[in-house]
A and B are shown apart, each in its own frame.
Chain A
């Protein structure tokens, strides 16, 4: 009898606790207009993506259901799941974003944030949110912008210009390889782009968390970069840099044609991925010839070392 009573009590007790929890949950959900900052009303932030206008107030439910678990109710990247994640979820309160079309140190465009939500972030726990409608995504972009006062004070940067891509040739690949050496991309990404350069092990992001350089050799035909998968996306990444990470912007130091040559070479580091670059390389015999700088005055004959640059 005693055990039965105890069991009954347990059942009742559990029900009571559950009911209490549910009440708390319901109350929390019904709480009036609790914005990202407690006791402050949600900022009436908007986003504009093409003809779609997003409103922060309309993203409240979606943000709580789909984003807050990692990015946190306050948008500070400290959601309850954050401890399990590497790399850590983005902290929206500092408004530093990796994937931008805008120069390093500037705010991204609404379109950039919209794209990141839809694309997800490869090699991280940020999934591809292709289940949202364009309106939902636009609303979430507006909501993200309520977390930092920068969005009220600053405008997004001007998107960098990406000129038309020149044709892939073995010369452009060869020059790209010389640039890969000269600009010392290999110091982090490794001589074969495997993310194992001499500085790789020491890299940390701006929150002092260890971070790995991109491994170009991983992945096959579905290989994606953090901020896209097309040649234009690669071009954009090294012109804008990946803010908040060790990857700098090369916009001040590299000419557009050179940047395209570098893109062509980087594609050949993706050894398991079919590409026009790998086709050109294969047709040329499979090895990248040393780069000869035709424009430079021939004070000394070009050394035989591949990627000698200058």
Chain B
């Protein structure tokens, strides 16, 4: 046991400099044009959830910030990075107040996923996978977390059929180099070894864009994405 701990410590010590002093790709995601305004969600059919939101929450298909920034865009390395194994930590997808937290959850293929229900109502978790297997499980209040994983890269739409306004996404990726844009549109992909990379940005309504970037050393390259907003 002790030996393996030391081995792990030495391994971390030798790897860390490589990871810490790699290049970084960072930037901002914005939109052009006029996006659809978020609509208030009517949860009156589920009073236990409705009372948690005052004022009512709004739809999350397109979430924007000041300065035409775009939130919830998955920016990831789609080519160039080494194939990495799934991290050992588990990612969580929470159902709270009849909403998905987070709205977009990114994970590695075969990474452990836990789906939790914090609500006083039953939900059914229905990932409408097309490449992976589609499944659909009920999760009543107080039920244990549902464990799952997906073995193929795919952007999977997730629904609760009982509460039709509940809609989220699983971004299952072949890489650990991903970042989801914040309200200010910012994203950052650190720890990149020198090399040529393809950076892909995916938005659930506006589609995907890609850009090529070359990292030569310990540098930060700025890459911005601008999506054309859909009028409806």
Spell out A's residues near B (CB within 8 Å). Answer: 94, 96, 104-106, 182-184, 187-188, 198-199, 202-204, 206, 241, 243-253
Contacts and interface: CB of A to CB of B under 8 A. Distances in A.
B137 A252 contact: yes
A7 B13 CA distance: 95
| Residue of A183, A184, A204 with most partner-chain B CB within 10 A | A184
| Residue of B136, B140, B146 with most partner-chain A CB within 10 A | B136
A243 B143 CA distance: 21
Query: Which bucket holds chain B's interface residue count?
Result: 20 to 34
Contacts, number: 77
Smallest CB-CB A-B distances: 8 pairs: A105-B135, A246-B161, A248-B124, A202-B164, A184-B122, A248-B138, A105-B133, A248-B136
A244 B164 CA distance: 16
A250 B123 CA distance: 11
B146 A247 contact: no
Contacts of A96: 134
Contacts of B135: 104-105, 241, 243, 249
Nearest to B125: A248
B168 to A, nearest CB: 16
Interface in B130-156: 130, 133-140, 143-144, 146
Interface of B is mostly: loop
Contacts of B163: 199
B134 A241 contact: no
B134 A188 contact: no
Contacts of A244: 134
Contacts of B133: 105-106
A243 B162 contact: no
Interface of B: 45, 121-122, 124-126, 128, 130, 133-140, 143-144, 146, 161-164
Nearest to A245: B136
B164 to A, nearest CB: 4
Contact of A199 (B125, B128, B130, B161): B161
23 contacts: A94-B130, A105-B134, A106-B133, A183-B122, A184-B140, A187-B162, A199-B45, A203-B164, A204-B161, A206-B128, A206-B134, A241-B136, A241-B137, A243-B134, A246-B126, A246-B161, A248-B136, A249-B135, A249-B138, A250-B137, A251-B137, A252-B143, A252-B146
B43 to A, nearest CB: 11
Given A184-B122, A187-B122, A198-B45, A253 B161 contact: no
A254 to B, nearest CB: 8
Given A206-B128, A243-B135, A184 B161 contact: no
A310 to B, nearest CB: 9
A248 B137 contact: yes
